[in-house]
Structure 1
Amino acid sequence: MMSAPATTLQDIIAHAKEYGFVFPSSEIYDGLQAVYDYGQNGVELKNNLKNVWWKAMTQLHDNIVGVDAAIFMHPLTWKASGHIDGFNDPMIDNKDSKKRYRADQLLEGKAELLTNAGKEDEANALLAKMGKLLGDEDLEAVRELIISENIVCPVSGTLNWTEVRQFNLMFSTKIGSVADDSSTIYLRPETAQGIFVNFLNVQKSGRMKVPFGISQIGKAFRNEIVARQFIFRMREFEQMEMQFFVRPGTEMEWYNKWKETRLSFHKAIGLPAESLKYHDHDKLAHYANAAVDIEYKFPFGFREIEGIHSRTDFDLSNHQALSKKKQQYFDPSIDPETNKPYGNYIPYVVETSVGADRLFLATFCNAFTKEMVGEGDKQKERTYMKLHPALAPVKAAVLPLVKKDGLAELGQEIANSLKSSFRTVYDDGGAIGKRYTRQDLIGTPFCIAVDYETKDDNCVTIRHRDTMEQERVPISELKERIGKEVAVERILEAI
């Protein structure tokens, strides 16, 4: 039997647009680079992913609550967090092509080529050297390293590089009616700081006891030098973050716990274990004492979809120093070593940070399925979206065999009876085989066929997306049967 061809990123992009998942933003004006809109099916899938993440955090854990902080924050927030002084990427231009690149990504690309060629030691040595030079902020040496490694511009094919410059990734704007320096504010580059500045508000109003967590889903903005690989890296994106506040000295225990918990989440939503792996950070961010990425195997290789970081007390301590407002927690529990209360301390933080758009892309890539069906001369390729039923944009489609003889009216009645329980659509356009295919292509797990026998036995035929098997089911059982399969509980139970 012939196997279906391997999936490429272009396959994913084309399918996402063709079937209403993701569109280029402002496409009638030729689009805006690295900005995308979610279509009618994409917004449902993304909302389902956000919903299951939110429930996995706030519903499964008694000590985690949520907030929704403003995008605009006081500018000193970003001074305290280090973003104003240190949120930079190394930028380099090719003088011949006039194209701009991130210097570190050029070197990482060369390391990936070396790895693919079986020269993993050379690749690791190159990455280690790059990490040291960037850590030392020796940008001229970074340029020399690019040239010595013969890394040419992909467009011009030349080594005619400019110097390397640091480029701050924050978008700035003005607030108020007078545009002067004092009115400059920033679009947030991450959602975490909205949690940190509300640490005491949540702790006191919710009477929270350490350890506890605060979750948030929200937009963030980064003026990426090179945004690429579809929605994997965008200038406007959405994060799902949870900051978990712990007693100093216990952070590694919680760090390891959250590593395992978050990997279980990704498996529970349907991402296979063989397509997931941990990647420990060699070079830690300024705020971390441990960091690991959960990576998914995209068509373009393993890339990060979530980071778990032990952030120490960096954020709360800096906010305390700059705001002159204490960010301490009084812990009345007894220290077994001193037999006294732990007392006042600034909590340490373990962070879990998921890119909602990257999780969407991983889920989409994993679900996109091409397979050969049939035998001999009748064999053909079948494409469908193998989404977890709880994540699918549409849970069930009601399809009357024909429009006449009362089947259309009966089908609409069935669809209306299910809509209050889960997203159901009614479709009577065209041959029923083509309607099955339409639903396969957006990932609908159950199609309900209404035929002439339905009028006599009050039963319908459910067609299962993945196997294409069909079974006869009483109309009275549809809501319970399908409702159980598409419920978010199926994912939460698996975490």
Structure 2
Amino acid sequence: MSNAPQKTAANTTEGTLAEIVSHAKEYGFVFPSSEIYDGLAAVYDYGPNGVELKNNLKQLWWKAMTQLNQNVVGIDAAIFMHPLTWKASGHVDGFSDPMIDNLDSKKRYRADVLLEEKAAEYEKNGEIARAETLLAEMGRLLTIEDLAGVKQLIIDEKILCPISKTGNWTDVRQFNLMFSTQVGAVAEDSNKIYLRPETAQGIFVNFLNVQKSARQKVPFGIAQIGKAFRNEIVARQFIFRMREFEQMEMQFFVRPGTEDEWYDKWKATRMRWHQVLGLPADKLRFHDHEKLAFYAKAAVDIEYEFPFGFKEMEGIHSRTNHDLTQHQEYSRKKQQYFDADIDPETGKAYGNYIPFVVETSVGADRLFLATLCQAYTEETITEGEGEKEQTKTRTFLKLHPAVAPIKAAIFPLVKKDGMPEKAEEIFNSLRHDFRVIMEERDAIGKRYTRQDLIGTPFCIVVDGQTLEDETVTVRHRDSREQTRMPISELRAYIGEAVSFSRIFEKL
């Protein structure tokens, strides 16, 4: 039996960043780190609902990579690595951002971000060609490392400090982003090491270990989820840009000459993944890099339209064989792969070579933020009839059931007549399979609202009829419809809706 409450949806709207930040804190998704000590800039903690949502997103990515692809396996590399790793990768000498200070406000900014924001302003005003010209010129100047030219471009574009409202800028200079520390019991004997600024190098230095132990043949991929650390000067927009963050990366090793094909394949695969997860196509776009690393063949970002504009969420890069070649040179250990397959042109085995790499790298925190922004929904509804009719705004998180922090909430209608005991019995029967909670406090309407605000897809109500015929009312978050069903069907019903299979089957 289905029972739909009266509802007229006049419109639905999305939240501003300020609303989403406030919601995230109030409902246990994200807290400012060490807030009782007034916090630490650009560092955040994930609360009870946030950690569940983030873990679900990570698990979904992990399974999509390693479970759906027979030729992708995973590792978990250490955060600390031998210092030569970062010399070989170029991070010691070249991992920096162009910074500029405003002499009046004493505030520091990333020069490229100032120019990108100006281009976004042009784009918003419909001046697409002007935006593209600005980004192309910025890319050219950064490629040739003409920092004086970058400063002049900022001046020519009449970009002002948002605080002082002046254009009194210093010269542009490079600022290294790596955190360093010491290893060793005695300070004098310590060696300088770094907190990794990316997770990719842990994959590269383990290339042959993984290839041999997992019995993989090129092409194959190595996936990893892990923390990385960057001393961001301009760290803002909530969890979008932080000093401690989490990456979900996959390095795909391919035969030289096939990298373009695999680059296009992973580019399309990753865009499709985000759409199936629930991010709409019109809020996603590809953005080709204006400035390429000297070793890169191609690079593109998948951008999502956050409340503060289109910003990078994931990068797909064709990295050639630069990383493995560098590690071979600095470690003096061969990083070659022997390919026994036959080259159709020569009729001989491909033999030894250093594979090329196609990388997919998505920020777990940025994906979390995009998911939260997309899910945040304010809906105008009409309830009741006649004189009792009223219009109000309903706020809820329209999360895909597979990633929702809590899959179902179980409510006894009242705290008597055996209903709490029956609700607990249902809770115990489901908790081994799903993240469920039992709630007895407040009126039933307030309990529904609470679960809507944290994105719970199902609320299960135990009432007097339950004690008579072993049926319950299941209330659906998005439609607010209510369905009566036997308790014995709950596990299969919920399991069908929250299974990752509902996402995987669309990939």
TM range (shorter): over 0.9
Contact 2:263 2:317 in 1 (8 A): yes
Q: TM-score, normalised to structure 2's length?
A: 0.96
Find 1:61's aligned residue among 61, 69, 74.
69
2:366 maps to a residue whose letter is R
Q: CA deviation at 1:242?
A: 0.4
2:463 maps to a residue whose letter is D
Contact 1:4 1:381 in 2 (8 A): no
Which residue of 1 is the match for residue 407 of structure 2?
395
For residues 210-261 of structure 1, the C-alpha deviation after alignment (integer angstroms, 9 at most, x for no partner) is 1111000000001111011111111100000000111000011111111111
Q: TM-score, normalised to structure 1's length?
A: 0.98
Which residue of 2 is the match for residue 21 of structure 1?
29
Which residue of 2 is the match for residue 111 of structure 1?
119
Residues 1:352 and 1:181: Cα distance change in structure 2 (over 3 Å) = farther
For 1:144 and 1:185, the matched residues in 2 are separated by 37
Contact 2:184 2:190 in 1 (8 A): no
For 2:175 and 2:233, the matched residues in 1 are separated by 8
Q: CA deviation at 1:138?
A: 1.7
Superposition pairs of residues 47-196 of structure 1, within 5 angstroms = 47-179=55-187, 183-196=191-204
Q: CA deviation at 1:280?
A: 1.6
Q: CA deviation at 1:162?
A: 1.3
Q: CA deviation at 1:474?
A: 0.3
Q: Alignment partner of 1:97: what SS?
A: coil
Q: CA deviation at 1:2?
A: 4.7
Cα RMSD over matched residues? Answer: 1.3
Greater length-normalized contact order (CA 8 Å, ≥ 6 residues apart): 2
Q: CA deviation at 1:182?
A: 6.3
Q: CA deviation at 1:177?
A: 2.4
Which residue of 1 is the match for residue 417 of structure 2?
405
Find 2:288's aligned residue among 280, 283, 293.
280
For residues 161-199 of structure 1, the C-alpha deviation after alignment (integer angstroms, 9 at most, x for no partner) is 111110001111111123359610000000000000000
Q: CA deviation at 1:95?
A: 1.1
1:449 aligns with 2:457: no
For 1:238 and 1:257, the matched residues in 2 are separated by 25
Find 1:372's aligned residue among 364, 380, 392.
380
For 1:116 and 1:479, the matched residues in 2 are separated by 48
For 1:38 and 1:286, the matched residues in 2 are separated by 37
- Structure 1's consecutive aligned runs of 4 or more residues displaced over 3 angstroms after TM superposition are 1-6, 178-182
Q: Alignment partner of 2:170: what SS?
A: coil
1:294 maps to a residue whose letter is I
For 1:301 and 1:440, the matched residues in 2 are separated by 26
Which residue of 2 is the match for residue 208 of structure 1?
216
Q: Alignment partner of 1:379: what SS?
A: strand
2:317 maps to a residue whose letter is H
Aligned residues: 495
Query: Structure 1: which 5+ runs fail to align?
Result: none
For residues 38-83 of structure 1, the C-alpha deviation after alignment (integer angstroms, 9 at most, x for no partner) is 0000000000000010000110111111000000000110111111
For 1:168 and 1:265, the matched residues in 2 are separated by 33
Find 1:382's aligned residue among 378, 388, 394.
394
Contact 2:276 2:503 in 1 (8 A): yes
For 1:182 and 1:248, the matched residues in 2 are separated by 41
For 1:368 and 1:40, the matched residues in 2 are separated by 18
Which residue of 1 is the match for residue 474 of structure 2?
462
For residues 262-295 of structure 1, the C-alpha deviation after alignment (integer angstroms, 9 at most, x for no partner) is 1121122111122111112222123310111111
Contact 2:142 2:291 in 1 (8 A): no
Which residue of 1 is the match for residue 320 of structure 2?
312
Q: Alignment partner of 1:209: what SS?
A: coil
Residues 1:2 and 1:484: Cα distance change in structure 2 (over 3 Å) = closer
Q: CA deviation at 1:439?
A: 0.5
For 1:238 and 1:2, the matched residues in 2 are separated by 39
